[in-house]
Chains A and B, each alone.
Chain A
């Protein structure tokens, strides 16, 4: 297959760096999602790979061949644009056939391949329709079919779902997932939506300020974010100052209000602890024992603490509780049918195996 690799890609506009030192070997025949906030350089990166933006430095290689001197029209990369960029004067079929027409394929072959591709994305009934008379979701499918019809070696998707409303987006996400997985084509999927990135990408690249913050399988990046930015970008996270201490041969994380079992990657010293809101549960008050026991840091109380309920936000599938313990504010997600008594302190248990720890320098974790 076609191995795609970017090395040291850099681009700046009027002295402001949009992408800096982007180096990555894309997994063959798999989907790599590039996710980042707006302005993080993800679209610029994609356009440089497509050859539509010349990089200031760095190379793109496809199957070992340097593409620097290869025009975008000779790269054979299918691309779906954010606004779809469908040719407004052509019908659905003519749009899908475009890549085959420029390759001067015989008419019959062109037609056969276009129909094959349109069938794949359920466009056949709309084949003769003008693309100006299609809904957003239909346009998205035309854009995808057009990019796939000429059998590209690489598929580039630039925020293909961002122009659609939430419900349609979720529907198409599932469809796209099924399709891309069966195609088995090297795919780069650019999005600012972390859910989209994690659900569609088999590999994940988190981009921020033009730099790669972290890359890896989505679950790994979510569970073990390399830094507070990645932690917060992929989901809600409580990030708290703590101390990693060693006693009786065991490492523990001492928070101002609780003690946690340290994960294997924690090094002794000042640190930041990340606890995701879904990695805590409300415990039965009786099982926790007295406050005295809580203060003794005994092994059986690791991960337990008491907190006062400040407010609860209904998120639909969950309740997000805003808790306060001492000076710290903590978010905790709980099933939406939880019975809450705001008058007494709530007993909370942290799933210690799920926490993440970073050594703490002088800086704040806010980014």
Chain B
């Protein structure tokens, strides 16, 4: 027989956890179910659409969304992959310099890199528009906006590993064994940063994929990223269409988030060992 105190603890823990899960999970469940179930016959929906079959599982809306917004999806995927590429190419060497070869003002530079995270997205976007008004609508300006928000995460992840781990000892060992700078970078430092780079890349991808403010404000209405298209479905399409679009959005980002959890968790265990 558990003591009243423990019983109370249990009720509290499971109550709070269950409550939170409900708050987070229920809207997602509604969206997912709403995207693929024909609910009109239940009378639960305010939809006026009455066409089509009477099957319970109804996937028409996915086809509709992919036909209408497929280009936006591809554009967003390209942006996200480009962001990952640029962050790896620029963020990793940059983080190495900041963490291992600090110079006068390198701490300030690091703070500046992190600064966009502290600014409201809309303020950032307006600033970008004013600074680059001639280039508004150009894909590379959108990419630049995404980098402002993604680079800090890559730099943080990599610099953190470089500062916390004993990579400096591995480097010293490689030096005494005769390895020059390039050999050390390729054979010792990059393999040691693998976990941080994977976590950083997944984060960058997820952030870029979901970025709304900069993409929405810097683009022309006809050339939009997928989150902006998502917004369009909310304002101008039916609940079923926007649900299907949202599910497609989640289908890309949820696996990435799960991967971050798995890889990130493994990383922590390894560092603790």
Contact = CB atoms under 8 A, between A and B. Distances in A.
Interface string B153-189: 0000000000000100110111111111001000110
A99 B169 CA distance: 16
A147 interface: yes
Interface residues of A, number: 30
Contacts of B192: 88-89
Contacts of B100: none
B191 interface: yes
Most-contacted residue by chain A among B174, B191, B273 (CB, 10 A): B174
Interface string A94-113: 00001101110000000000
Task: Say what secondary structure dominates the interface of chain B.
Answer: helix
B182 to A, nearest CB: 10
Contacts of A71: 175
Nearest to A77: B176
A22 interface: no
Contacts of A102: 174, 177-180, 183, 187
Interface in B176-214: 176-180, 183, 187-188, 191-192, 194
Contacts of B169: 81, 83, 85
Contacts of A136: none
Interface in A54-78: 71-78
A306 interface: no
Contacts of B179: 73, 98, 102
Contacts of A99: 177-178
Contacts of A83: 166, 169
Given A85-B169, A89-B194, A150 B178 contact: yes
A243 to B, nearest CB: 53
A146 interface: yes
A86 B169 CA distance: 9
A50 interface: yes
B191 A150 contact: no
Interface of A: 47, 50-52, 71-79, 81, 83, 85-89, 98-99, 101-103, 132, 146-147, 150, 156
Q: Which 3 A-B pairs have the closest CB atoms?
A: A85-B173, A99-B177, A79-B176
Given A87-B187, A98-B177, 6 more contacts: A76-B178, A85-B172, A87-B191, A89-B191, A102-B177, A103-B178
